[in-house]
Structure 1
Amino acid sequence: MNKEQLEGKWKQVKGKFKQKYGDLTDNDLKYSEGKFDEMLGNLQEKTGKKKEELKKEIENL
């Protein structure tokens, strides 16, 4: 997957997570290289899900 594809996929994931978890903000979903684990931590805190659950959910979107 190239950079443009990854960015496009991430925009889709952000939109779906915002729909599913209405209290998430853009700041919760900001992603930059090397910050994926930090972002997952924010999502864990907001959703109460385990990191592996969230990774699977992201992969399946």
Structure 2
Amino acid sequence: MKGKLGSAITNLTSAKELLGFVWRGRTWWLTPLVLVLALLTFLVIFLEGSALAPFIYTLL
């Protein structure tokens, strides 16, 4: 369980750095990319143990 929590915290830190880069650099065109990456990250983390996991991995 600690491994998943540490991974989630690392992902949040990376997301915070990416959003900070977008904010400072005025590169708003990256916003859709950030949102899609966040959605895929949450799908992989939260559906990892479910029966839908094999189908999600085929989409990626």
TM > 0.5 between the two?
A: no
Higher relative contact order at CA 8 Å, sep ≥6: structure 1 or structure 2?
Answer: 1
TM-score category by the smaller chain?
A: 0.3 to 0.5
The structure that is helix-richer by fraction is 2
TM-score normalized by structure 1? 0.36
TM-score normalized by structure 2? 0.37
